[in-house]
Amino acid sequence: RLEGCPLLEEGLWLLSEEEAHHLMTVRHSREGSFVEGLLPGRIVLTRLERRGEKWAVRFVEELSASDEGPEIVLLAGLLKGDSFDLLLRQVTEIGVSRIVPLCCDHSVVRLDDGKAEKKLARWRKIVQEESKQCRSSTIPLLDRPCSVEQALTLDLPSSRFVAAIDASAPPLASLDVPSSLVLAVGPEGDWSAGEESCLRGASFLPVYLGHRILRAFTAAAVVSSWAVQGWLG
Ligand code: SAM
């Protein structure tokens, strides 16, 4: 990932120790090896050069960025333990554009300000790693955790869906997929009645994912994947 790497001259990026270590020891690259570089919205072919004790990559040519996709904003209830990390990894891989962690009425996790900062730094690292892993040139935006009410004051796409355990709600497969949308998935303890009515009042259409109650991170992956597949299809 070249974003943030200092430019020594036009088209020559100095690699961080971490990136250089990854290339030399994990990817077995050597001086002169061709490596792909990820920039926001771009993938470039570069060649590895030694610069004293350090390593740099020189631009060779532009490659096509093939990871275009729909605009997917995911409002996701905070989860305990490593479950939220897993949710972040999966939805980043699938291709969401923005994730808004929600402190819900029934969330088991409570974040005070100190904890929220530490978590946010860790989550940012996770989405960066995961974007790199799946060769995406874009990293999803990650908001600070907020309540459902606060999330509804954000500038959100007008096509809105909330995963609701409600067999009378339409199944996902019956709906058309817009190219810009917001999806909401609740925490382990589900939405409170107040949150559900807030979401419905803000034009979120309830959608049903089947007769099984899915883990929240699975539900997030299912709805995100629906949006990407629909956009591709
Ligand atoms: N106890 C499980 C856990 O630990 O993750 C279940 C959590 S479920 C209550 C969390 C959220 O996933 C719900 O608020 C809802 O948004 C979504 N969800 C799960 N199963 C669903 C289904 N069959 N239909 C629609 N939404 C579902």
In ligand 1, the atom with minimum distance to the C-alpha of 189 is: 9
pLDDT at position 40 over 80: no
Tell me how far apart the alpha carbons of residues 69 and 58 are, in angstroms, rounded to a whole number.
Answer: 28
CA 208 – ligand 1 centroid, Å: 10
| ipTM higher than threshold 0.90 | yes
Question: What are the pocket residues of ligand 1 if the criterion is a CB atom closer than 6 Å to any ligand atom?
Answer: 163-165, 185-186, 188, 190-191, 208-210, 212-216, 219
pLDDT given for residue 113 in this prediction = 66
User: Is residue 23 within 8 Å of 55, Cβ to Cβ?
Assistant: yes
Q: Give percent of the chain with pLDDT exceeding 70.
A: 97
**Residue scoring higher pLDDT (13 or 110):** 13
Which of 2-11, 112-121, 141-150, 184-193 is the least confident region?
112-121
Q: Any bridge partners for residue 181, and if so which?
A: 72
Tell me how far apart the alpha carbons of residues 186 and 196 are, in angstroms, rounded to a whole number.
Answer: 9
Instruction: Name the closest-CA residue to atom 13, ligand 1.
Output: 186
Cβ atoms within 10 Å, residue 1: 20
Pocket test for ligand 1, best of 104, 106, 165 (most atoms within 8 A of CB): 165
pLDDT at position 64 over 90: no
CA 90 – ligand 1 centroid, Å: 16
Closest CA to 191 of 163, 171, 226, 161: 163
pLDDT given for residue 110 in this prediction = 77
CA 99 – ligand 1 centroid, Å: 17
- Which residues have CB under 8 Å from 130's CB, separation 6+? 88, 89, 92, 93
- pLDDT tens for each residue of 102-141: 999 998 887 776 788 888 999 999 998 998 888 787 889 9
CA-to-CA separations, 39 to 42, 131, 138, 149, 206, in angstroms, rounded? 5, 11, 8, 34, 37
Half-sphere exposure of 100 (CA within 13 A, CB side): 22
Average pLDDT of the chain to the nearest whole number: 91
**Residue scoring higher pLDDT (114 or 98):** 98
Name the token pair of 4. Answer: 């943030």
What number is the average pLDDT over the span 42-56? 90
